[in-house]
Amino acid sequence: MKPVLAVKDLSVTFRTEDGPVSAVDRVSFEVTAGEVLAVVGESGCGKSVTAMSIAGLLPRTATVNGSVELDGTELIGADKRTLRSIRGREVAYIFQEPMTSLNPVFTVGHQIIEVLRTHIGLNRQAAHARAIELLKLVGIPSAERRVGDYPHQLSGGMRQRVMIAMAVACDPKVLIADEPTTALDVTIQAGILDVLRGLRERLGTSIVLITHDLGVVADLADRVAVMYAGRVVETAEVHDLFAHPEHPYTVGLLGASPAAGRHAESQRLNEIPGLVPVLTEQPDACTFADRCPRAIDTCTSSQPQLTDGPHRVACWNPVRERVEV
Amino acid sequence: MRRYLLNRLWQSAVTLVLATIVVFAGVRALPGDPALALAGEDRDPESLRAIRQQYGLDQSWLVQFWQFVSHAARGDLGESIRTGTPVRSMIVSALPVTIELSVLAILIASVIGVGAGVIAAVRRGRPAEWAANALALLGLSVPHFWLGLMAILYLSVALGLFPASGFVPFFTDPVANLHHLILPALILGTGLSAVIMRQTRSSMLDALSADYIRTAEAKGLSPKAVVGKHALRNSLIVVVTIVGLQLGALISGAVVTERIFALPGFGKLTVDAVFQRDYPVIQAVVLVTATAYIVINLLVDLLYSVIDPRIRVRGEA
């Protein structure tokens, strides 16, 4: 199946006062129609930067190389007008903070209508009707009334639903959800995930789900790409990854995340010692070697590349035996 | 919204009453006896008593206050001690000059200030921002009385583009009226625009780094909509505040500019009254200024609630 979104060798470097910082290094992944790809990793591993670079939303201090193809159209290096016509229409975003991601001085209806009028050229009335329809689609009760509310009149979960309504207003091919549930109460999270799942099923939208929450991944994703220090270190179908993680970092992530019934009695959660390094340049070594319990000599002298096949891993000493995490 | 409005009107009324008390007490607390000032050379006790009786100065402060308030409420602000002209007519002739000058100046200042502020914020770190900042610094540092004198010297006297002084009422000749006011308004406005520019720039920078701007960009909106609508609307609270404060200050204090351009406005009236110890005029002038401040503040607050819906709700709660 031809991918809707194909990211190939995407690299992002930021110019900073302390010199260049490499945030993303030759990241590649593909998303097919209706597929949910989860990109997971710790804070600072380059997930969000990868997401933002897809539609050219990074600040001017960023240098982006590589290729991002959306249905055959190259987006890296595309002119601003082309990018604008794609944003919100073909590629839409949902951000982490529903509190601050909506403009406080406009009604939620207005903010949805704005997308419709910009991209589809609906007239005011048609756009208004469509906005109500969209609010209903994402499960907002009494949408006719809510359409005239300001963001501060809605709860966090409702605001995130509004964000989603806004994002899917033009029926985009790809929805990029950057930590869509992180800022929400656990009880609200499930509702938001239901909405996303429903959209995928009803509209066939492909979703790139950026998260550090493995519970969310297990709940929604078809495939997973694990990122570490700007690189994809492992990618596999979701069940396969959870059952047979091969990269020591993935094993660490799974071990650090709580699961119902497990750990409840005596065990503490495992942690991965150390922090994600900030890299001025990508070294010719495995960037996880310093924190890795399985590191061997090769790890510090040569950079591992992703293997081929459905379950790909970039590691010199992958975990092949079954591990208990 | 209606409740918010009523609430604010009520607060304004209380402020006005307090201002009246302060004005009344303030004038009474000034050193010197108005009766002595009035009597001039003729200081025999008999005529002093007659003067005190005539102006009600022999009454208790409470009675005097009541008379002052009840007269003021009817629009009777007394008579000038110096000229015997009703104070009300002096104010009626001076106030429109100052209001027109102030409004013109603030319009000029807002257009230049907001425009330059937005450009400086959007073009951060580029030549356009440096230029805007340099001009703002210049506008802040150059005293406007000097700028006024230079303008008169070069634009009025040497080139003859504008009249150097004087005033023509708007309803007598609107064109001549504008012709007389445009230069002083420009001088006042450019100085104020620097302050507005700096405030606009910093609040725009805040707004532009907000999450909702990223959302607006991710929606594929044009830069015009992102900057001019989403960011600017959120910056306006600060701008409106500063414009309101400046307008209040202008109405009470365009003194220097009015002097330089010989405009028969409120500033001139105030200064003359103070120099001549013309108590009824001082009292009226301060009262009118206080009222102007209160009205402007009320308007600014109402504008807040138009700009930012969150303020509306807080006022209602």
Contacts of B309 (CB under 8 A, 6+ apart): A104, A105, A107, A150, A152
Backbone angles phi, psi at A87, to 5 degrees: -60, 130
**How far is the C-alpha of B194 from the C-alpha of B102, rounded, in Å?**
16
Rounded to a whole number, what is the distance in Å from the CA of A237 to chain B's nearest CA? 29
Mean pLDDT in residue range B184-203: 91
Contacts of A207 (CB under 8 A, 6+ apart): A31, A35, A36, A37, A174, A175, A176, A177, A196, A199, A200, A220
B220/A84 Cβ within 8 A? yes
Better pLDDT: A203 or A234: A234
Rounded to a whole number, what is the distance in Å from the CA of A87 to chain B's nearest CA? 5
Q: Considering the domain boundaries, does residue A309 fall inside one? A: no
Extract the runs of DSSP E, i.e. beta strands, from A95-219: 174-178, 206-211
The confidence band for A210, taking pLDDT boundaries of 50, 70 and 90, is: very high
Rounded to a whole number, what is the distance in Å from the CA of B194 to chain A's nearest CA? 27
The confidence band for A128, taking pLDDT boundaries of 50, 70 and 90, is: very high
**Domain end: A171, A205, A224, which one?**
A171
Half-sphere exposure of A181 (CA within 13 A, CB side): 22
**How far is the C-alpha of A309 from the C-alpha of A312, rounded, in Å?**
6
Q: What is the CATH number of the domain that holds A81?
A: 3.40.50.300
Q: Which two tokens stand for residue A185?
A: 């109460």
Range with the poorest average pLDDT among A255-264, B17-26, B268-277: A255-264
Instruction: Kindly state whether B230 is in contact with chain A, defined as any CB-CB distance less than 8 angstroms.
Output: yes
Q: Check pLDDT > 60 for residue A323.
A: no
Range with the poorest average pLDDT among A19-28, A35-44, A303-312, B254-263: B254-263
Residues A163/A97, Cβ–Cβ less than 8 Å: no
Q: Which two tokens stand for residue A135?
A: 């609010």
Mean pLDDT in residue range B272-289: 83
Range ranked top by mean pLDDT from A179-193, A217-231, A281-295: A217-231
Better pLDDT: B309 or A226: A226
Same domain, A178 and A165: no
Residues B192/B106, Cβ–Cβ less than 8 Å: yes
Q: Check pLDDT > 50 for residue B317.
A: no
Q: Check residue A322 and give its pLDDT.
A: 61
Report chain A residues whose CB lies below 8 A from the CB of B218. 55, 57, 87-88, 92-93, 95
Q: Check residue A98 and give its pLDDT.
A: 82
Q: Check residue B316 and give its pLDDT.
A: 45
Report chain B residues whose CB lies below 8 A from the CB of A93. 215, 218
Q: How wide is the angle at C-alpha A168 spanned by C-alphas A166 and A171, nearest 5°?
A: 140
Same domain, A119 and A207: no
Question: If you measure CA to CA, which chain B residue comes closest to A119?
Answer: B220
Q: Considering the domain boundaries, does residue A315 fall inside one? A: no
Same domain, A22 and A167: no
Torsion sign over Cα B168, B169, B172, B178: positive
Q: Check pLDDT > 60 for residue B87.
A: yes
A153/B308 Cβ within 8 A? no
Mean pLDDT in residue range B70-93: 85
Mean pLDDT in residue range B226-235: 93
Average pLDDT, chain A: 89
B310/A118 Cβ within 8 A? no
Instruction: Kindly state whether B129 is in contact with chain A, defined as any CB-CB distance less than 8 angstroms.
Output: no
Instruction: Kindly state whether B125 is in contact with chain A, defined as any CB-CB distance less than 8 angstroms.
Output: no
Q: Check residue A266 and give its pLDDT.
A: 54
Backbone angles phi, psi at A260, to 5 degrees: -60, 135
- Within chain B, where are the H helices? 2-29, 34-39, 45-54, 61-73, 87-122, 127-141, 144-151, 174-208, 211-218, 223-225, 232-253, 255-260, 266-275, 279-307, 309-316
B215/A103 Cβ within 8 A? yes
Mean pLDDT in residue range B251-271: 83
Q: Check pLDDT > 60 for residue A324.
A: no
Instruction: Kindly state whether B303 is in contact with chain A, defined as any CB-CB distance less than 8 angstroms.
Output: no
Pairing relation of β-strands A174-178 and A206-211? parallel
Q: Check pLDDT > 80 for residue B131.
A: yes
Same domain, A167 and A194: no
Range with the poorest average pLDDT among A265-279, A311-325, B42-56, B232-246: A265-279
Rounded to a whole number, what is the distance in Å from the CA of B35 to chain A's nearest CA? 58
Report chain A residues whose CB lies below 8 A from the CB of B214. 57, 95, 101
Rounded to a whole number, what is the distance in Å from the CA of A224 to chain B's nearest CA? 24
The confidence band for A54, taking pLDDT boundaries of 50, 70 and 90, is: very high
A88/B211 Cβ within 8 A? no
Same domain, A82 and A139: no
Which of A97, A105, A153 lies nearest to residue B211, judging by beta carbons? A97
Q: Which two tokens stand for residue B130?
A: 């440096």
Same domain, A2 and A106: no
The confidence band for A19, taking pLDDT boundaries of 50, 70 and 90, is: confident
**How far is the C-alpha of B266 from the C-alpha of B92, rounded, in Å?**
10
Contacts of B87 (CB under 8 A, 6+ apart): B77, B78, B79, B80, B280, B281, B284
Q: Check residue B56 and give its pLDDT.
A: 73
Same domain, A275 and A190: yes
Instruction: Kindly state whether B210 is in contact with chain A, defined as any CB-CB distance less than 8 angstroms.
Output: yes
Identify the domain containing residue A21 by its residue range: 1-90+173-260+269-284
List for chain A the helix, strand, coil content (%; round to 5): 35, 25, 45
Q: Considering the domain boundaries, does residue A144 fall inside one? A: yes
Pairing relation of β-strands A3-16 and A19-32? antiparallel
Same domain, A213 and A278: yes
What residues does A69 pair with on adjacent strands? A6, A74
Q: Considering the domain boundaries, does residue A320 fall inside one? A: no
Q: Check pLDDT > 70 for residue A67.
A: yes
Q: Check pLDDT > 70 for residue A236.
A: yes
Contacts of B172 (CB under 8 A, 6+ apart): none
Same domain, A17 and A139: no
Q: Check residue A259 and give its pLDDT.
A: 61
pLDDT digits (tens, 9 = 90+) for B24-63: 888 777 776 767 767 766 677 887 788 777 777 777 888 8
Q: Check pLDDT > 60 for residue A325.
A: no
Mean pLDDT in residue range A192-199: 89
Residues A193/A219, Cβ–Cβ less than 8 Å: yes
Number of domains in chain A: 2
Share of chain A above pLDDT 70, in %: 95
Same domain, A201 and A273: yes
Report the candidate in B255, B76, B99, B264 with the shortest Cα–Cα distance to residue B168: B264
Q: Check residue B308 and give its pLDDT.
A: 86
Q: Check pLDDT > 90 for residue B274.
A: no
Q: Which domains does chain B possess?
A: 2-73 (no CATH), 88-275 (1.10.3720.10)
Backbone angles phi, psi at A224, to 5 degrees: -130, 135
Pairing relation of β-strands A174-178 and A91-94? parallel
Most B CBs within 10 Å: which of A82, A105, A152, as the mutation test of the B interface?
A105
Same domain, A159 and A19: no
Report chain A residues whose CB lies below 8 A from the CB of B313. 152-153
The confidence band for A267, taking pLDDT boundaries of 50, 70 and 90, is: low
Torsion sign over Cα A136, A140, A145, A146: negative
Same domain, A213 and A227: yes
Range with the poorest average pLDDT among A118-127, B34-43, B207-216: B34-43
Q: Check residue B233 and give its pLDDT.
A: 92
Better pLDDT: A90 or B316: A90
Q: Check pLDDT > 90 for residue A130.
A: yes
Q: Check pLDDT > 50 for residue A278.
A: yes
Share of chain A above pLDDT 90, in %: 57
Q: Considering the domain boundaries, does residue A301 fall inside one? A: no
A93/B233 Cβ within 8 A? no
